[in-house]
Amino acid sequence: EVPVGCVMVYDGKGIVGDRNRVNEFKNACRHAEMGCVDQVLAWCEERGLDFESVFRAISVYVTVEPCIMCASALKYLGVKRIVFGCANERFGGVGSVLNVFDGDEHNTEVTSGVWAEQAVDLLKTFYTGENPNAPCPKPKAHRKSETTVDVVSS
């Protein structure tokens, strides 16, 4: 799994945490933030709390800038604050590619660059190593080329 972790803090306490589980669940939507969202919903249900009120008071801490999907979900839920480490230049939804918070009626506070160097180092280490959870490559079907080459001698 790409090493991205997320913690959600409510009332000064870390109430849930998760990591990317895309390969584990074979589901491209199982990002760390989405796992935390599911956990907060369960946490609220167990305690009889209104999840909408809880999300409006939550601070989200994530190692990498949330992607557009996750940032959109966090905006929809109206989280109070998002703090992240390094930018996500390919899929970032908090400014690197798109800022879903432009015109945000909830005024979500966003802080970037917190421990960014450590987050980048973690990603570099991951991408230079083997991924034991990566799917096995599929064998290519034998293909025959229809092209012929005539050798001409001069």
45 catalytically annotated: no
CB hemisphere CA count around 51 (13 angstroms): 14
φ/ψ of 6, rounded to 5, equals -140, 140
Gap between the Cα atoms of 50 and 48, Å rounded:
7
Taking residue 110's Cβ as centre, other Cβ atoms within 10 Å add up to 18
Position 125: which residue type? T
Quick one: DSSP state of residue 20? -
H helical segments located in the chain: 22-25, 32-47, 51-56, 68-77, 116-128
Options 33, 46, 109, 130, the catalytic residue: 33
> Catalytic positions, please?
33
